[in-house]
Amino acid sequence: MTTPPFNIAAAFRNKAIALRASFLAIRDVTAHPSERGNQGEADWVGLIRDFLPTRYAVGPIFAVDHHGAMSQQIDVAIYDTHYSPQWFGASSGTRFVPVESVYAVFEVKPEFSSAYLEYARAKVASVRQLQRTSQSVVHKGGVYRPEEIGLKPIIGGFLTTRKGLASPIEKLVETQPREGEVDFLNIGICLDQVAFDYTPKVVGDEVQVLLNSREGVDALIHFCIRLFQQLQAVGTVPAVDMAKYEATVFQGTGER
């Protein structure tokens, strides 16, 4: 077989090596946990941003809903900037975005452990528990009807760089809630060691959501491809219903 002019597998593997080297570099020069954490989050943001199409924004956020409820701080989020306005930003780069614009949220931790796994689930749940709205969108050929929120799930994930457990996938299965619960994790990775995902797959007339995993140096390749497939399944996030946000802004003032 002729060798293709672009080696996709080598490109992914080189990216994994670069990310791991960046993580190890900051860990070797500082023992301060927040500095290590900030570097790890920035590395994951950069990797995911480089891989995904430019239609997706990637970075740390707080998600908010039209009632004024707010999620916990999310280390890495994939979100939309086309159909939903972006409320406020901070000099650190963290943004406050309407929950309607969120495609996926990830918790970044240094290792895959039982405690961090539960922490990641709590972060994901804090976003999914917010109330999303949906509005129609006018386009050249007519009007897109409001999206059905239930068909636009928010992807929840876990990003780590080393294993803190002998069998992380076994612990995941042992503690994983039912698919569809607010703290269910759809995808995750322990860099260069193991990746897991619950990517929907059409089998006959039904959609199955089963656990998949891959161990070894190709874990990152598996993670990136499956993340993209899950984003494809979501399609486009719902357009925010600004009337509901406006109602909260002027509640009790008599203005409309």
Quick check: helix, strand or coil at residue 186? Answer: coil
Integer Cα distance of 89 and 97 in angstroms: 9
Q: From the candidates 75, 183, 192, 241, which is the catalytic residue?
A: 75
What lies within 8 Å, CB to CB, of 161 at 6+ separation is: 20, 23, 40, 110, 111, 190, 191
**Whether residue 171 lies in the annotated active site:** no
If we measure between CA atoms, which residue out of 64, 73, 145 comes closest to residue 102? 64
**Whether residue 50 lies in the annotated active site:** no
Integer Cα distance of 104 and 109 in angstroms: 17
Q: From the candidates 65, 109, 123, 183, which is the catalytic residue?
A: 109
| In 109-225, beta strands by DSSP E | 111-112, 137-139, 142-144, 155-160, 162-163, 187-190, 194-197, 200-203, 206-209, 212-215
Please provide residue 196's backbone torsions phi and psi, each rounded to the nearest 5 degrees. Answer: -135, 155
DSSP 102: E
Q: From the candidates 65, 100, 107, 183, which is the catalytic residue?
A: 107
In the Cβ-directed half-sphere of 231, how many Cα atoms lie within 13 Å?
23
**Whether residue 109 lies in the annotated active site:** yes
Q: What is the dihedral of CA 77, 80, 85, 90, to 10 degrees?
A: 30
Q: Catalytic site residues? A: 75, 107, 109
